[in-house]
Amino acid sequence: MILFLRRRFAFFFFTYLLSSLMIFFLLRVLPGDPARVIAGGREATAEQVAQIRAELGLDAPLPQQYLGWLSNFARGDWGTSIAFRGADNRALISERSINSGRLALVALLLSVPLSLALGVIAGLSENKLPDVIISLLTLSVVSLPEFVTGLFLINIVALGWSGNPLAEALGWWFPASSAVPANASFGEMLPALWLPAFAATLVLLAYISRLTRAGVIEELKRDYVRAAALKGLAWRTVVLRHVLRNALLPTITVIAISVSWLVSGLVVIEFVFGFPGLGSLLIAAIERRDLLLVQAIVMVTVSVILLANLVADWAYAALNPRIRL
């Protein structure tokens, strides 16, 4: 296990460095000059733009800029924001990351148990009515883009309470907009989390449940299942102790990928609901050509994605010792 984890850590750091290199140089080839944006746009003079470029170090060779940025980022110096009038990038990202983490946590708590339960039910009733209903529902939901799902929830769930006697009682829990203060506490933010989290849950539902279903069906056909049943083991024991343990191995990887998506793919959902998370911060930074802020956000996102996959590899190896080899 130690050798396996060493290899995974080495792969983690190599991927991290490669990602930082790609992020830096891809952003440099995008149109627009951040120095000109800071100087006032088209009205700025060439001297003003040159002075700002020198202050930001943008006049240095690209390799020197990259090494300086990576060194500062590793030390925790993520620069100041153009889009937010000189605010500290690290403080901005930390605040928004907490909000996105809350949203991702609620979405995971909703999606993972529900998906696993639906997948197991569908797998144990292959080609029967429960399996057909679950398959149709999950595939129908996952075919919808995130913004369509979000707008549907806003119009049907949130705005649909208008004129309904339950509006006053339930409207507080399902507001149409999730535009709450970025520094709000979890309790204050909770009502604004339900609809975005449910929209993310609907996206993840089919992937996890379908893979769980396939794993359960495959394991039920194994010889050890028949042998356990012939020995007189209770069917519930066979399913819980043997079938699910092996069937859920591939699902762990999908859940890790889901965590990665929740970090990077919530941009659309946060934008639709107006939620003050990392995704909406990224959109604002891109619109205003705030390179340092964009780079820092993407690097934080890459870090979470790589860590999620590293944890998934560890869990997979712990459950299946053959993977370590």
Q: What is the pLDDT of residue 267?
A: 82
Note whether residue 210 is domain-resident: yes
Written as six digits, the tokens of 166 are: 């339950």
pLDDT score, position 163: 56
Partnered with residue 80 across adjacent β-strands are: 88
Residues 143 and 13 reside in one and the same domain:
no
b (16+ CB within 10 A) / e for 177-207: ebebebeeeeeebeebbbbbbbbbbbbbbbb
* CA of residue 269 relative to chain centroid, distance: 11
Give the distance, in angstroms, between the CA of residue 7 and the centroid of all CA atoms in the same chain.
Answer: 25
Neighbours of 324 (CB within 10 A): 15
Rounded percentage of the chain residues whose pLDDT exceeds 90: 1
80: in domain: no
Point out the domain boundary residue: 29, 52, 75. Answer: 75
pLDDT level of residue 1 (50, 70, 90 thresholds): low
| Same domain flag for 150 and 291 | yes
Verify that 215 and 150 share a domain, yes or no: yes
Specify whether 54 is located in the same domain as 166: no
The DSSP result for 83-151, as a single string, is TTTT-BHHHHHHHHHHHHHHHHHHHHHHHHHHHHHHHHHHHHTTTSHHHHHHHHHHHHHHTS-HHHHHH
DSSP letters, 48-93, are HHHHHHHHHTTTS-HHHHHHHHHHHHHHT---B-TTTTT-BHHHHH
**153 within some domain:** yes
Looking at residue 68, its pLDDT comes to: 86
Residue 81 lies in a domain: no
Are 45 and 116 in a shared domain?
no
Q: Residue 256: is its pLDDT beyond 60?
A: yes
Greater model confidence, 52 or 218: 218
Number of domains in the chain: 2
Residue 58 sits in the same domain as residue 190: no
> Are both 103 and 47 inside the same structural domain?
no
Q: What is the pLDDT of residue 124?
A: 87
From CA 24, how far away is CA 244, in angstroms rounded? 44
For range 25-40, the mean pLDDT: 72
pLDDT number for residue 321: 64
What's residue 28's pLDDT? 77
Last residue of a domain, one of 75, 110, 127: 75
The least confident of 210-224, 263-277, 310-324 is 310-324
Question: Percentage helix, strand, coil, to 5, in the chain?
Answer: 80, 0, 20
Q: What was the pLDDT predicted at 319?
A: 64
| Rounded distance between C-alpha atoms, residue 165 and residue 20, angstroms | 54
Q: Could you tell me if 33 and 132 lie in one domain?
A: no
Q: How confident is the model at residue 14 (pLDDT cuts 50, 70, 90)?
A: confident
Phi and psi at 80, nearest 5°, equal -115, 160
- Under the banding of pLDDT at 50, 70 and 90, the label for residue 265 is low
Instruction: Give the rounded percent of residues in the chain with a pLDDT score beyond 70.
Output: 87
Burial of 234 (0-12, 13-18, 19+ CB in 10 A): exposed
Question: Are both 20 and 139 inside the same structural domain?
Answer: no
284 falls within a domain: yes
Tens-place pLDDT, residues 124-183:
888 889 889 998 888 888 777 777 888 888 777 666 555 555 555 555 567 777 778 888
What whole-number distance in Å separates Cα of residue 190 and Cα of residue 210?
30
Let me know whether 51 and 94 are in one domain. Answer: no
The residues, any chain, with a CB within 8 Å of residue 114's CB and separated by 6 or more, are 201, 205
- On whether residue 84 sits in a domain, the answer given is no
Task: Confirm whether 106 is domain-assigned.
Answer: yes
For 34, the domain range is 2-75
pLDDT tens-digit series, residues 62-101? 888 888 888 888 888 888 887 787 788 899 999 888 888 8
Give the domain-ending residue among 75, 97, 113: 75
Indicate if 138 and 223 belong to the same structural domain.
yes
| Whether residue 278 is found in the same domain as residue 172 | yes
Structure tokens at 18: 């490669």
| 174 part of a folded domain | yes
The reported pLDDT for the residue numbered 137 is 86
Residue 160's domain is classified under what CATH number? 1.10.3720.10
